[in-house]
Structure 1
């Protein structure tokens, strides 16, 4: 089959997968926050958070494919506004983790449905308030698009979907690993100590995000 019949150049698929896998495996705010949620709230809450993060990535991917995220490069003040809103959101999550009585409970896989919905929404909001996700698509996707294949939009959506699958797998492994560690290490943790540890962990993620997204 001639390459022109493929929506994307088959020759770019493996390099693209390697690139996005290395990016996702590089420690970052998403990884840190998902690990904290899974450590303190268990595997189900971590999985719900992964769902929110993945949906947030999908929104940024679609926005980039349709050219909407270019405004972040055109208007740096908008990038900075989203950036600091994301940092502020993480600080609020840290405060909420400290003051909420339920945040200090022992790790449980039988998390109430409300907690799972909360983890999903927070994962979604946290990722939508991370402008580096948009810049990632703006900077990376065009380098793998070839003119002799499908239209740029189709190629961007195809490659973006591959990235979402890689991110989902990496984040899922983080959740499984962190939840397993949490079950072993935090079984005897008391409420106030667990709340303090969770809050401090999220503060560290917030500072990490502020550093990672500086531009």
Structure 2
């Protein structure tokens, strides 16, 4: 359903964005450092699988817009491009998230931590906006099957997020120590992510 070039470009951009310091991966890092590897992995997988709800919304919404009005789809792309540029600007201005706050509270079961991560991602309106902004620019409307392409992209994003968050939770202690020894590492990760966001935003605005 996706071409090799289409999927390759998407996965590369998704990995760079997911790896940049942000609320989700810093929470996974903090959970793993404070409560152990299993807790970090469970919470991280929950955060990643929460993306499936956003994938469904994006697949239905984007395909409906294309079917109803090419103009509406163009306006969505323009708004999405501006939103990505705004995210990139804030990432470039960030001081760098080099440490993760320690997770507090009473011990919880792995199932409960998984559900907590799932819910935290699924109800986040900023993630909804991100999916509606990010996925459409990798959809080739000329090939048809817009909903199928969008769903496939969302699944790819979820898989790479699960792999990255799971790995981050598993090696949270080592990653945390590495970041603490290299305080500028988070700063440069933010710079890379900001550049990617702005580049994607401009590409989305200029695309026809």
Q: TM-score range by the shorter chain?
A: 0.5 to 0.7
Q: Does 1:11 align with 2:18?
A: no
| 1:153-193 deviation per Cα after TM superposition (whole angstroms, max 9, x unaligned) | 000011111111111111122112214568xxxxxxxxxxx
**Equivalent of 2:104, from 92, 97, 115?**
97
RMSD: 2.6
| 1:127-159 deviation per Cα after TM superposition (whole angstroms, max 9, x unaligned) | 123222111210111111112324100000111
Runs of 5+ in structure 1 lacking a partner?
1-6, 74-93, 103-113, 183-215
**Equivalent of 1:159, from 130, 143, 153?**
153
| Kept after mapping to 2: 8 A contact 1:9/1:146 | no
Change (3 A) 1:125 1:115: same
Structure number with greater Rg is 1
What does 1:170-185 correspond to in 2, within 5 Å?
Answer: 170-180=164-174
Q: TM-score, normalised by structure 1?
A: 0.58
Runs of 5+ in structure 2 lacking a partner?
66-75, 77-100, 177-208
**Equivalent of 2:47, from 48, 53, 78?**
53
Query: Who is 2:58 aligned against?
Result: 64
What is the rounded CA distance, in whole Å, between the counterparts of 1:34 and 1:144 in structure 2? 28
SS at match of 1:162: helix
What is the rounded CA distance, in whole Å, between the counterparts of 1:128 and 1:158 in structure 2? 18
What is the rounded CA distance, in whole Å, between the counterparts of 1:148 and 1:10 in structure 2? 16
What does 1:22-33 correspond to in 2, within 5 Å?
Answer: 22-33=16-27
**Distance apart, 1:12 and its partner CA:** 1.6
What is the rounded CA distance, in whole Å, between the counterparts of 1:140 and 1:161 in structure 2? 13
